[in-house]
Amino acid sequence: MKKYKNILITGGTGSFGKNCAYYLLNKYKTINKLVLFSRDELKQSELKKKFSKYKWFNKLRFFIGDVRDYKRLEIAFKDIDLVIHSAALKQVDTAEYNPYEFIQTNILGAQNVVYASTYNKVKKVIALSTDKASSPINLYGATKLCSDKLFISSNNFFGKRQFVVVRYGNVAGSRGSVLPLFIDQAKKNEFTVTDPKMTRFNISLERGIKTVEWTVNNCLGGEIVVPKIKSYKILDVINSFSNKPKIKTIGIRFGEKIHEEMISIHDSKNTYKIGDYYVILPHGDKKILNFYRSKTKSKKVESNFSYTSDGNKEFMTISEIKKTVNEIVKKII
């Protein structure tokens, strides 16, 4: 990470973007410039005030723009060494009624990031993805799968290894997470669930940021990185609030899975485990395959392996869920 002096984060004023900037600027004194690229001028103004007290504030740059606008990206990426692409439209149900908007941002926006990065000779690009991109059944997941394919295939198309994808599950307490809803419903001890059998992956924002950091430091280009994280059962989350909760099952929403998946059985033939991560290698790339076999302490997964929230070997305990909820409540207050 230290070799990247000029960094840009798309979606820079979102929960990931601003926290990633804070983490990197505190840890790496070698950073010369960190650009927060986003389309929200109000969030940029608020973030300027919040970050102005820190010594590294003069290293921050705020750039208003949209990933849909290629020319704006081309200007923003000038002299940038590392791009972390976190800008996306993410709401599953909203995507079903606004498909064109999601395609414009999540697919064509990703294509613009690829082109602008290549034009400006950016050394490395880390694109954030989601568990919904694995065997997608909704439009949001489909757009993110297309985005993943664009980034991975571009390593071959442009003949340079610079694009890597990071895929992880629900960020606790983030936009779209069920935890803030349950925190509100706990006031009346009345909870709604779409399906009581539901499970989900869970990752903290801090772990997500450190996964990106690990990816920057360890990956060649062309990989999809998946962190090993815990799952939770939706009923355990409710039981963490109350011993005798009133639960109403409202039925599964369109495009929603009962269990999430981060690595499909079809990807197992190209998947290796290394430390706290799984790495899906690009199909047919002998050079990168030889690197992982000879230069890393990685081990190939079983041929029938899949990484799903219900088949996960590690689940959060109710006490762990309570701790996570308490941390979210503090942030809300």
Residues catalogued as catalytic: 132
192 Rama class: left (phi>0) / alpha (psi -120 to 50) / beta: beta
For residue 291, with 0-12 CB atoms within 10 Å meaning exposed, 13-18 middle and 19 or more buried, which class applies? middle
User: Which among 278, 204, 151, 284 is positioned nearest to 20, based on CA atoms?
Assistant: 204
